[in-house]
Structure 1
Amino acid sequence: MTDDLAPAARGRVERLLSLARTRDRYADYDVPAAEARLRARLSARARRTAPAVFVAWSPAWTEPAPGAAGTLGDPPAPGGRAAPDADRAWWDLTDMSLAVLRAPDAPRDLDRFIRDRCAGRTGARVFACLLHLADHGDGARFWWQFAAGAGDGTAEYCLFLDHSCRGEYHDAAFWCGELVRHGFVPDRVWGDRAAATAARRLPEPPVVHFSEHHDPDLGAIPLPEPPLVQDLRALAAAAP
């Protein structure tokens, strides 16, 4: 690169190049944790191409508590809380989303959410679960975060599972801590999982009518459209 320069200039350039250094080599970077996150994301992509048959992975919901059954210790989450296995977290999240959408008040909550211009944590949670089942993961996460910020425990649980199935263990540990702090127990809110989600089938991902608002800071935000309420009623009617 310096061959075409005058000798004096070439010398200065070579001295400057010799002083170049990488400022941060990330000596504390957790390579096993990064590999686990990549494996979880690849697994999630493979699941999206599988037939849309949703069955309960376990007879019980994953408990957001230290030492819960079915958790993995590698990689560990901060504070000693291990995140659930990515596959189990995905099944839990899918079954929880179905349970939310098939609740008797779900269409009413979603309709109110739309009419109130996206205000209300319960409607936000319902919309997020619809987005999850339709494979709009980023939009689902946005509205779960909205609902969780307003104090919705089920949305916090969905975020705990969402981060776990993506291999984002530090974020999963944060929501696990929030759930434990608030005393959230899935069985108390949604009942026994074995009875609620014994065999759930959808012929294909649901159609979700929504528009997108592009925020300069937050990016694309999905917004529900009125036909979505009828979509939800049709989904509930498809229950086995």
Structure 2
Amino acid sequence: MTAAPAPFPSEHEQAFHELDLAVALVLNAPQAGRSLDRLVNSSKVHPEGALVFASLLYVTNRPDSAQFWWQFAAGSGSATAAYLLHLHHLSLGETRDAAHWRGQTERLATTPRTPRTFKPTAPLLPDDVRRDILARCHEGLHPRLPASLEAVINRLPILCDDEDFGEIPQPSPTLTGQLAG
């Protein structure tokens, strides 16, 4: 076993690494697949699914699209999404926006929520991909998906081209099945 990487030389580099690690943990969470499925196959808003979808977009090098979906999730009550936005803005050196999302994180974390129970489900991603994402973070590298899974994300429908975020991919009802493939 190797030691964890040393702290990074600047605050924004440290935030970038912490964002990578947090995204890896979101994608490795036992409920990630079910959460993403609920986002696309339910008439209710599912912030956890938006959090997972944003994290998939992030690891496929679509940070602006990820930011859009993290904001959707945070606006729907996800403290984790708000924290990822804090790290995202901090990694870009946008301290004012980072401070805003840090405050939102604290507010959402103290807001009472109805506890949710999650039944165990199949992982969102194949085991080797999940291990590789975590290993890359441990080595201080940016997490990413293999080309075959990145292609799945790249084929998602784009229903709008947002002025602030550019092209915003939309999750498809078959996405979780294609990723677990």
State TM-score, norm by structure 1: 0.52
Residue 104 of structure 1: which of 30, 33, 41 is its match? 30
Distance apart, 1:176 and its partner CA: 1.4
Question: Which residue matches 2:156?
Answer: 210
Distance apart, 1:179 and its partner CA: 2.3
1:94-150, CA deviations, whole angstroms, 9 ceiling, x for partnerless residues?
A: 111111111111111111111126831010000000000111111100000001011
| CA distance in structure 2 between the partners assigned to 1:125 and 1:160 by the alignment | 14
Question: Which residue matches 1:168?
Answer: 94
| CA distance in structure 1 between the partners assigned to 2:162 and 2:135 by the alignment | 39
- Whether the 8 Å CA contact 1:101–1:232 is kept in 2: the answer is no
1:167-198, CA deviations, whole angstroms, 9 ceiling, x for partnerless residues?
A: 111100111122234457xxxxxxxxxxxx99
Question: Which residue matches 2:140?
Answer: none
The unaligned stretches of length 5 or more in structure 2 are 111-131, 137-143
Q: Give yes or no for the alignment of 1:223 onto 2:150.
A: no
Residue 20 of structure 2: which of 84, 94, 103 is its match? 94
What is the letter of the counterpart of residue 45 of structure 2? A
Q: Give the direction of change, closer, same or farther, for the CA distance of 1:109–1:203 in structure 2 (3 Å limit).
A: closer
| CA distance in structure 2 between the partners assigned to 1:233 and 1:142 by the alignment | 24
Q: Give yes or no for the alignment of 1:150 onto 2:76.
A: yes
Give the 3-state SS of the residue equivalent to 1:116 in structure 2.
Answer: coil
What is the letter of the counterpart of residue 135 of structure 2? R
Q: Which structure's CA Rg is the greater one?
A: 1
- Whether the 8 Å CA contact 2:82–2:105 is kept in 1: the answer is yes
- Whether the 8 Å CA contact 1:57–1:91 is kept in 2: the answer is no
Following TM superposition, where does structure 1 have runs of at least 4 consecutive aligned residues deviating by more than 4 angstroms?
55-59, 202-206, 215-219
The unaligned stretches of length 5 or more in structure 1 are 1-54, 60-69, 73-84, 185-196, 235-240
| CA distance in structure 2 between the partners assigned to 1:96 and 1:143 by the alignment | 15
Give the 3-state SS of the residue equivalent to 2:170 in structure 1.
Answer: strand
What is the letter of the counterpart of residue 105 of structure 2? L
Name the Cα RMSD after superposition.
3.3
Q: Give yes or no for the alignment of 1:233 onto 2:180.
A: yes
Q: Give yes or no for the alignment of 1:133 onto 2:59.
A: yes
> Relative contact order, CA 8 A, sep 6+: which one is greater?
2
State TM-score, norm by structure 2: 0.67
Q: Give the direction of change, closer, same or farther, for the CA distance of 1:216–1:124 in structure 2 (3 Å limit).
A: closer
| Count of residue pairs the alignment pairs up | 147
What is the letter of the counterpart of residue 32 of structure 2? A
Distance apart, 1:91 and its partner CA: 1.1
Alignment of 1:177-192 (within 5 A): 177-183=103-109
| CA distance in structure 1 between the partners assigned to 2:68 and 2:89 by the alignment | 12
| CA distance in structure 2 between the partners assigned to 1:203 and 1:126 by the alignment | 14
Alignment of 1:56-95 (within 5 A): 57=5, 85-95=11-21
| CA distance in structure 2 between the partners assigned to 1:216 and 1:176 by the alignment | 25
Structure with the bigger percentage of strand: 1
